Structure 1
Amino acid sequence: MNRRHCASAAITLVCALALLTAPVQAMAAPIPEPTPSATASTVPGKSLEEVREEIDTLYRKAGAATDAYNLAEEQSKKQSAEIVKLTKDIADGKARIAELKDRAGAQAREQYRNGGLPPGAQLVLSGNPSLFLDGINQARQSQQATKGMLTELEQAQEDLETYTQDANLNWEKVEASRVKQAKAKKSINAQIKAAEKLESQLAKEERARLLKMEQDAASTAQAAWLSSGALKDINREASEAGKKALAFATAQIGKPYVWGAEGPASYDCSGLTSQAWAAAKKPIPRTSQEQWRQLPHIDIQDMRPGDLIIYHGDASHVGMYVGDGSIVHAPRPGRHVTLTGAGSMQILGVVRPDK
């Protein structure tokens, strides 16, 4: 009996030890799924923040190329209009030269009918002193008219040569602008395609986080701008023209950004601002860079609604100030015309179209 009890006790001890050392998966609490960190990304070798910065850079480059495209297009339109005008001037010049040559030919034929003698010689040989005296002024007038006609003919020929040279030069400029447009278009498409490809590699949740990161970055920049006192004492009202431009711009909210677009269904950044001021009967340059270069500069402290805020060191973006520290603008491909903080991007300066 004692041996049985000992054996039983031993077996019981072994079983107890086996239970204590066995895996306890069935009884353990479920292990939580890892939550994605703010910097995780499905793009190999890159954090989500790095992806955001790269996408932003690509769209910035696309914006600069869009400005170059728009400028080349504007120059091409202007030069084409000049060619149309010069073509008319050339046609008018040729007609004028033909008319003057006809008049010169008529005078030559008249002289031939009179024996090839000039009017003065005819009067001397007429033998009629009264006719000579009466006709001397007519001869002088005829000589002056002939001289004036020859001078006019010479000037018309010079003008025709100038028109032709200008037309040829404008054709060269049009071709140069066309080449610039093609190059800029290629660059735009390449940058946008690269940005879209990078974004497409992200999971749906990551794209949502990416958008949130963009919004947070903009909010942080806006808060810093406001806390700097930039809006202190800025409470001016828009001019009458500024109100019209602002009404047009805000009416476009919700329409998509399309590079090179000037409405009415879509806009790029400077397409929106230029069309807004055109609606206010105040035409301004087409591109943000030309708006910065040509329009009067205003101190931020003097800013009023309707003024244009130019962004980035290369003046590649523009928005219209609406007041209370906000702008209306067309952001970039994949976004729509919207309101955002005026300080959410790097401000280069402010211009006023109706100063």
Structure 2
Amino acid sequence: MDSPPPIDREPAWRFSVAPMLDCTDRHFRVLMRQISRRALLYSEMVVAQALHHSKRRERLLAFDPVEHPIALQVGGDDPALLAEATKMAADWGYDEINLNVGCPSPRVQAGNFGACLMAEPEQVARCVEAMCQASPLPVTVKHRVGIDDLDSDALLQTFVDLVAAGGASRFAIHARKAWLEGLDPKQNRTIPPLQHNRVIALKQRRPELTIELNGGLDTPEQCLDALRSCDGAMVGRSAYAHPLRWGCVDQLIYGESERNITASGVVLGLIPHAQAHLERGGRLWDLCRHLVQLVEGVPGARHWRSNLGLKAQRRGADIPVLEEAARQLLDAGL
């Protein structure tokens, strides 16, 4: 008997949760996987040089199989080290690898990677080419529309064209320029004005390229609107600060059946992951710190967050803390 034809499914990157330092660790990713089964999730940025030298690669690279599809984001400017990191990503089972050309922090600049590399598109292209040659993983790039005075559409297009020629399969573009001098990383996420129109115009000029829009997308509806002009929508701080807001994306963006996603269900779904983390010697607070964002705008939310934080931070805090938190939410109909 012939097998049925494959189902035409939207690719994972149609909606993704951006890599965020101190936010998108393995615990938050498992939390988000309770909310969306289809979204592409990213690791925090891992520096390629650290992977080369570190004896703690498992801590830097390990993830739960439930996190698939998942991308490893790396930082660096050395093609050989980035190629090595790409091979590691493939060996560990990541679905793709992403090069950070968007972070404006002084520490990252000191290492000559992140957003400052937008001034060196040929070097970025060499890095991407080496990464593509190291494994069959898709190699993608996350970057800004410009930096400092290097901020014209012509320069943006030159950057993208050169990096695409190097083999990049997708571009996640934060629709703000970055000021490398005068603004800190937090200010660089809010002060430079959003310029969605420039990303959309680039997509129109280069329709053959796969381009994700990032920056200022705060609701699923805004993401759906972005998908009318770009290939993907990437959400950062809004996903971290309001995780339950995104419970409809599988239905809205991927055409999946509706699911009833509740705060209590998310907490209960985290228990197997929490148990495994505790058995490895981890602390319950490592994952509960992300849960304080789960409940908002309802009576008793502040008390629930305070109670969870107090108990989860105690030495020896165990699974009953999560079970109690879930019961409290169930009793409140959440």
Is this a same-fold pair by TM over 0.5? no
Relative contact order, higher structure (CA 8 A, sep 6+) = 1
TM-score tier after normalising by the smaller chain length: under 0.3
TM-score, L = length of structure 2: 0.24
Considering fraction of residues, name the structure with more strand.
2
Indicate the structure (1 or 2) with the bigger Cα radius of gyration. 1
Considering fraction of residues, name the structure with more helix.
1
